[in-house]
Chains A and B, each alone.
Chain A
């Protein structure tokens, strides 16, 4: 590392200072939140930025609040702070995921904004946020941009983020009607990356017998985390039944493109995606008050 250029590390205390630093160092600054994924990339020599802008000391970016029916989660809010936040408890699709992200140490540093910016398709937090139709709020010195999370991750580890922008927060609407969510994950070690992860969010009609809306999203089955339109289309408007849930869960293989790797073959992951989709749907429907 002695041959590396000198590096500067900034710990701005407010948003404007952080954005000014990004504008000044356009292209050469790396935004740091928890810094854990970056630490691994630095150690492996994949990155050697000259300037680091650490946003973890900006109070505004760690806030979690519900305002006018919209939940706002600051980019630098840690997984641990979400786990203990009353604002997040109603969203079991999120709390399920938070409990299985790595381990307490990682969750104490890891942040939602860091995960979204890193754009790894295997992150556990992304499918639940896709199910909640989350938006990503991006800020630069001269503008604010709001991008739907489903468009934010463009390809493998690539996010729609300009060099002068930072992720300010992620937002999603309060849910109405009888609703329930769940996240199911298979991993080859406790606390490890998902071999496959599946989030499900359902809304039932007032009789609790018909699925009026359903969203399914998956991690680790392609270049980005993705929704499963095939499952969703086949279940929306249908009467709750184990048979229809089993059949529609098998359709997931049409929406995903997993790779063979050390965690399993593509064929195995496709099968696993169906099994986990079914489990997540059953749990979500039961939590919404439906019976199976």
Chain B
């Protein structure tokens, strides 16, 4: 079936079948390889994207569900070559090592920041917000710092 949706602000169209996860469409038809492939089962979060501004795991999102909706990936965050402030916060806080999980963490953080997080930031609340994402390098501390500083900078 053919679906029409908004992808990183542009109207697009794709031929999909029901059993395909949107992740595979984004990677193969639109070359958006910032949407990573990990566990295939909704556990690791590396394929996280925004569906109508809410973070979801695109490996569990049946592709036809994108019809008429808006999808945002990590590739759509920066403007005119300038990093989104969440990307900048991850960079400033050294919140990545191999980087494979980073797009997923950033998309989860963007959703969290849109839902009025506590400010001053609360560590437990941040942990709940990013618990759908797995990082095997950092030990999470620098990621929590990055999210925290993104919350503070979003107020300015």
Residues of chain A whose beta carbon lies under 8 Å from any beta carbon of chain B: 1, 4, 7-9, 11, 32, 35-36, 38-40, 42-43, 52, 54, 56-57, 80, 99, 102-106, 108-109, 190-191
Contacts and interface: CB of A to CB of B under 8 A. Distances in A.
Given A40-B60, A191-B131, A108 B42 contact: no
A84 to B, nearest CB: 8
Interface stretch (B6-14, B30-38, B49-57, B145-153): B49-57
A112 B51 CA distance: 19
Interface stretch (B17-25, B73-81, B83-91, B93-101): B17-25
Contacts of B29: none
B42 A36 contact: yes
B55 A54 contact: no
Contacts of B17: 1, 7
8 contacts: A4-B19, A7-B18, A9-B18, A39-B60, A57-B68, A103-B132, A105-B48, A106-B132
Nearest to A1: B19
Q: Is the interface of A mostly helix, strand, loop or mixed?
A: mixed
A257 B54 CA distance: 39
A42 B19 contact: yes
B67 interface: yes
Contacts of B27: none
Contacts, number: 88
Interface string B39-65: 011100100100100111101111011
A9 B1 contact: yes
Nearest to B20: A1
Contacts of A52: 18, 62, 64
The 8 lowest CB-CB distance pairs between A and B, nearest first, are A103-B132, A36-B60, A9-B64, A105-B132, A9-B18, A108-B54, A35-B62, A105-B57
Nearest to B127: A190
Given A32-B62, A54-B65, A191-B132, A108 B51 contact: yes
A11 B112 contact: no
B128 A99 contact: yes
B27 to A, nearest CB: 16
Contacts of A54: 62, 64-65
Contacts of B64: 9, 11, 52, 54
A30 to B, nearest CB: 9
Contacts of B19: 1, 4, 7, 42-43
B117 to A, nearest CB: 12
B1 A43 contact: no
A205 B89 CA distance: 53
B72 interface: no
B38 to A, nearest CB: 13
A39 B55 CA distance: 17
B129 interface: yes
Given A9-B1, A39-B60, A108-B54, A102 B132 contact: yes
B154 to A, nearest CB: 18
B108 interface: yes
Nearest to A191: B131
Contact of B131 (A4, A32, A38, A190): A190
Contact of B112 (A1, A102, A104): A104
